[in-house]
Amino acid sequence: MENPTRALRVLVVDDETTTASAHASFVMRVPGFTVHAIAHSGSAAFAELSRAAAEGTPIDLVLLDMNLPDLHGLDVARRVRGKGDTVDIIAITAIRDLNVVRTAIATGVTQYLIKPFSFAAFSEKLANYREFRLNLGTTGANASQASIDNAFAALRSVGPTPLPKGLIAETLTAIGEALRATDAALSATEVSEVLDLSRGTARRYLEHLAETNRASKAPRHGTRGRPEYEYRWRPKN
C-alpha cells in the first residue's frame, strides 16, 4: 500500500546538462518528490534504474527527454517495459508529432509535457501524477472501479480558467502546493510566512481556492479578537 508521506524518487533524463539541472530544480520545488539521480543518455538511465533497484530504492518516476545522444526516448521506454520495469514515465520533449505522442502512450508513458513550459505547468503534472499514485496505492491489492476512475481522472488537467483580476497563476500554484504539503490547516499568516508574501495577498489567494472548492475554510478556534480562518487542501474526489 502506498505510503502517502514518502517522497517519490525521480530520475531526470535529458542530454542537455543545463536543462537536466533545471528540471531537477523544478522537481525539488514540488512537495512530495525528490531527485534520485540525473542521466544524460539512455544507457545512463538504464544504469541508474538498475542501481536504484539493487539498492532497494527503486525509481518511481522517470522524466524522459525524447532526444538523447544514444537512443530515442521511445526506445528507452520500450526497453524499460521489455525488462518488466513498471516505473512510470513522463515524456518531456519539444516533439509535437502525433505519431510520437501515440507511440509514447502505447509504450506506457503516463503523461506528455511539451517544452518549453512554465513551472506551474510542470508542478501541475507532478501533483496530478502523485494523486494518481495515491488513488491507486491506498486500496490494497485489488482496486475498485471508483479508485481506478479517480486515479485516471487525477492525470487529466482541468482546462485553464481565467483568474480573477490581480491573481497570478504561479502564485496560486505555489500557495496550493503549500497547502498540499501539510496535513495541517494553514492560516493566511502562516502561508504568508512560508512564501514571503503579505498576509493580505495570501488571504486573497486562499479565498479564491476556497471559493473554487479546492480548499476548505473554517474559523480557527482559540484565537482572540478578530476571528482568523484556516485553510486545508481539498483532495479531488
Mean pLDDT of the chain: 86
Residue 232, pLDDT > 90, answer: yes
Residue 27 pLDDT exceeds 70:
yes
CB within 8 Å of 93: residues ≥ 6 apart: 65, 66, 67, 73, 100, 112, 113, 114, 115
User: Whole-angstrom Cα distance, residue 155 to residue 67?
Assistant: 24
pLDDT, position 74: 94
Q: What is the pLDDT of residue 151?
A: 54
| pLDDT tier, 124 (very low <50, low <70, confident <90, very high otherwise) | confident
Q: Please identify which residue in the block is written with the cell numbers 525488462.
A: 83
Question: Please, which residues bridge with residue 61 across strands?
Answer: 10, 88
- Domains of the chain listed by start with CATH number: 8-155 (3.40.50.2300), 169-233 (1.10.10.10)
Specify the pTM: 0.63
Q: What is the pLDDT of residues 146-167, one digit of tens each?
A: 555 665 566 665 555 567 888 8
**Could you report the per-residue pLDDT of 31-80, keeping only the tens digit for each?**
899 999 999 999 999 999 999 999 999 999 999 999 999 999 999 999 99
C-alpha to C-alpha distances, 70 to 37, 49, 60, 117, 143, nearest whole angstrom:
19, 17, 23, 25, 39
Residue 207 φ then ψ, to 5°: -65, -40
Sign of the torsion angle spanned by Cα atoms 131, 136, 138, 139: positive
Predicted local distance difference test score (pLDDT) of residue 61: 97
**In which band, very low, low, confident or very high, does the pLDDT at 183 lie, cut at 50, 70 and 90?**
confident
What is the pLDDT confidence band of residue 231, given thresholds at 50, 70 and 90?
very high
40 or 140, higher pLDDT: 40
